[in-house]
Chains A and B, each alone.
Chain A
Amino acid sequence: MKILVPVKRVIDYNVKPRVKADGTGVDLANVKMSMNPFDEIAVEEAIRLKEKGVATEIVAVSVGPAKAQETLRTALAMGADRAILVQTDDEVEPLAVAKILKAIAEVEQPGLVILGKQAIDDDSNQTGQMLAALMGCPQGTFASAVAVDGDAVTVTREVDGGLETVKLALPAIVTTDLRLNEPRYASLPNIMKAKSKPLATKSPADYGVDTAPRLKTLKVSEPPVRSAGIKVADVDALVAKLKELGIA
């Protein structure tokens, strides 16, 4: 079984995003970029399924600028077998990403597509579900455990009240939650090896997908800032404050 893993190049999760003064977006110039953390978890899960003998090949895909090659090389260094960069400098919305992924899935015929549950830049939490809809496949979102058994996959999902388990017919779409696994670091030899793994470059047009945005961003602003309040000296002072708030 082949596994497709879409990975997005995003602002590093340790960087505090700054809104541009002109309100057109977030300043990404000279900002550290990395693989979306949930996508690292997706790559890791695919590798574990390969190590278990469930998967035979892992194909990483990224839709983004030429620099997204670095993200794909990271996936290859972790253990993906080959990569596809669908290169574009435009921002591509989840719906269009899902359409591109569907077209790739038609060629690659994966048994599983494992995506992150959300990209930490747009925070959309949509692409996996959209891909599942377009492919007519079942979806196991927010996964904290994945077990493939024959022609089905059992997915444990993190939901509002706790955990939920669903059984899905393959091919299926899985999106990862944080506790699915802890992604490995690529070793130096593997980073070197990744440089010679195949990486194909395509364009959205190769897949016949129109990436024109459906949503127009009119403005991006800073959220209302909270300012630091006061520090109290001891517990008694805190109790007094709680009384003022009417909760003690």
Chain B
Amino acid sequence: MAKTLVWVEHDNTQVKDATLAAVTAASQLGEVHLLVAGSGCAAVAESAAKIAGVGKVHLADNATLKDALPENVAPLIVEFMGHHDAFVAPATSNGKNIAPRVAALLDVMQLSDVLSVEGPKTFTRPTYAGNAIATVESSDAKLVITVRGTAFAKAKTSGGSGTVEAVSGGADAGLSSFVGAEIAKNERPELTSAKIIVSGGRALKDADTFQQVIFPLADKLGAGVGASRAAVDAGYVPNDYQVGQTGKIVAPEVYIAVGISGAIQHLAGMKDSKTIIAINKDEDAPIFQVADIGLVADLFNAVPELTGKL
């Protein structure tokens, strides 16, 4: 049976949800081993070992691995790939940063953003902003894939009985250093795991208006908040709110698009939502072509009224 190595996304404290979809994809390929690379992250390895279906958990705990710098992490993964057949990472910003570096070092062509496992070496993946789904077979000796989080069920975080093995490695490549991060503190549900998302577009005018119109509705619904690229570019909200081809890919139970036209690049990030609701004053806006429920109205009247009536 093939042995797969899943790179665990974490913040040195907790396993991130995106990992769980990657584990599910990996389990369809073979035996699942995990790599927890970080600093002071023993607790992460302990909880990773409890993920259902997990065998070995390799724990590389080293100050040089704290910030997931690909220059330091990729060579470590390459060492492990000496005795694994497939490398699987979630298609998060970290996963996308590290996996191709691993693939090139292994002289392997990566499969990005995999949607389904069709066979031992065959996968589907989106191209052209999700407008064409390609079924692709790899001819490389080893596989390197990144996994779209919304396409696979999350593995259960309990019930597993993996064993944690500490490993050395992860030397500083001396090429890069971490300067800092501005990670937004957000009390709302994270976009990629939220059940409901309220997203605002360019129509929201400015940051204050976005806050006053979108946030109260989201709070009433316990929803995460997203945005179109136009809204982010205009500075209404930070970049991590962006949904779309080049932002986050989301698939909540309910996606409410407010004042968003529905450009293909935006649709690429949300059209797998279970129910799409659109509020737009232009009845011909393309968003209505994918919306299950549409309301043609001026959002500045409709959204406050809706918030009030919930």
Contacts and interface: CB of A to CB of B under 8 A. Distances in A.
Interface of A: 11, 13, 16-17, 19, 25-26, 93-95, 98, 117-118, 120-134, 136-139, 141-142, 144, 154, 157-169, 177-179, 213-223, 226, 228-232, 234-239, 241-242, 245, 247-248
B297 A235 contact: yes
A16 to B, nearest CB: 6
Main secondary structure of the interface of B (DSSP, over half): mixed
Interface in B127-149: 127-140
Contacts of B96: 125, 129, 141
A40 B95 CA distance: 25
Contact of A245 (B140, B246, B265, B275): B275
B168 interface: no
Contacts, number: 254
Contacts of A232: 293-295
Given A160-B93, A166-B177, A168-B176, A230 B294 contact: yes
Interface in B235-263: 238-240, 245-246, 248, 253-254
B112 A137 contact: no
Contacts of B254: 245, 247
Contacts of A141: 96-97
A162 B184 contact: yes
Given A235-B305, A247-B254, A94 B100 contact: yes
Contacts of A94: 100, 109-110
A95 B104 contact: yes
A133 B105 contact: yes
Nearest to B195: A247
Interface of B: 67, 69-71, 74, 92-94, 96-105, 107-113, 122, 126-140, 173-184, 192, 196, 221, 229, 232-233, 238-240, 245-246, 248, 253-254, 264-265, 271, 275-277, 283, 288-297, 302, 305-306, 309-310
A213 B184 CA distance: 41
Contacts of A130: 100-101, 103-104
Contacts of B181: 159, 161-165
